[in-house]
Amino acid sequence: MKKTTNDRTFELMEMLFAISRRMRGEMSYTNSFIHLSIVQIQTLIFLHHCKTKNATMSDIAEYFHIELPSATSLVNKLCAQKLVARHGDSEDRRLVIITLTAEGKKCMEEAMNHRRKKLEKMLSYVSAEEKSQLISILKTLSTKLVT
C-alpha cells in the first residue's frame, strides 16, 4: 500500500519528536557537581558567542523564543551554579548584563565535548553520504524556517 503525503508527514513528525526527545536526554550534561539541561548548555554557548556584545535577559529570551520570566529562571539556575554572573550596565542601570564565568566557560567546553562524543556515537550508524544528505536537508529547513 502506497503511503500518502499525510502518512509521510505524520511519520516524519513522529520520528522528529522521538529523535528530539532522545537527543534532549542524551545531550544533557552531568559531572560530579553539576547537571545541565540542553537549554542550559545552549545558554552558556550563546553567552560565549556574545563576548563582544553584552547579553541581556531580553537577548536570552529572544534567542530561545521564551518569555522574560522563563529567561530569568534559566539564568537564576545558572547563577546559583556560578556558571554565569549578572552585572549592572554602566550606561543604563535598568539593564542587567549576563556573562559567562570562568567556571561556566570550563563547564561549557566539557559539555560541548560530551555532546560531540554522544552525537558521534549516535551518528555512527549513518554513512558519510547519509550524513551529508542530513546536513543538506537540515540546512534547507533552517534557511526556509527563518524566512
| Number of domains present in the structure of the chain | 1
In-domain check, residue 73: yes
In a domain, 56, yes or no: yes
The CATH number covering residue 50 comes to 1.10.10.10
Write down the pLDDT at residue 67.
96
What percent of the chain is modeled with pLDDT above 90?
51
* 10: in domain: no
Torsion of CA 56, 62, 63, 67, to 10 degrees: 100
Query: How much is the mean pLDDT over the chain?
Result: 88
Higher pLDDT, 75 or 31: 75
Per-residue pLDDT band for 61 (boundaries 50, 70, 90) equals: very high
Alpha carbons 103 and 94: distance in angstroms, whole number = 26
pTM for the full predicted model: 0.77
